Amino acid sequence: MTDSLKIAEVFGKRHANVLRDIKSLDCSEAFNELNFELVNYLDEKGELRPKYFITQDGFTFLAMGYNGKDAAMFKESYIREFNHMRDQLAQRSPANDYLNMSDEDRAIAYFMKVKAEKAQYLILVYGLSSY
């Protein structure tokens, strides 16, 4: 979680411009509601001013539209971490995942496997496609 004031500070922008940028994002209403919460805060003069609380996903969506050195550094870091995560997931062994599951998750995985196998059997034997 962050807020629009911190984003303005980090990216060297006027807060009013960050507020404008958030209002003009071309994201769905559902995404906006989940990731941007408009609140009021007391400024140094004791006056109420608007700011947004912003989730990590909201920050990423907003920052991906920014230009400049700080934005470029964020984008490069994001891409690097995304690729690292992809590589880590590719190296995971399904057997290790199964061993690390809780008993409940293991039972659900087993049930889903049996259900998929039964559905394949019904398709092959009876030509049924809805199970």
Tens place of pLDDT per residue across the chain (131 aa): 999 999 999 999 999 999 999 999 999 999 999 999 999 999 999 999 999 999 999 999 999 999 888 888 888 998 899 899 888 888 876 666 666 778 777 777 777 777 777 767 666 666 555 44
In angstroms, the CA 124 to CA 84 distance is: 40
Q: What are the distances in angstroms from CA 83 to CA 45, 78, 86, 95?
A: 45, 9, 5, 23
Among candidate residues 9, 16, 19, the one with its CA nearest the CA of residue 53: 19
Residue pair 62/25 in contact by the 8 Å Cβ criterion: yes
Only one residue has tokens 């960050």, namely 18
**CA angle, 106 then 112 then 118, to 5°:** 135
Q: What are the distances in angstroms from CA 90 to CA 15, 45, 84, 85, 93?
A: 41, 53, 10, 9, 8
Helix extents (H) in 25-128: 29-35, 56-63, 69-91, 94-99, 103-126
Query: Per-residue pLDDT tens for 75-106?
Result: 899 889 989 988 888 887 666 666 677 877 77
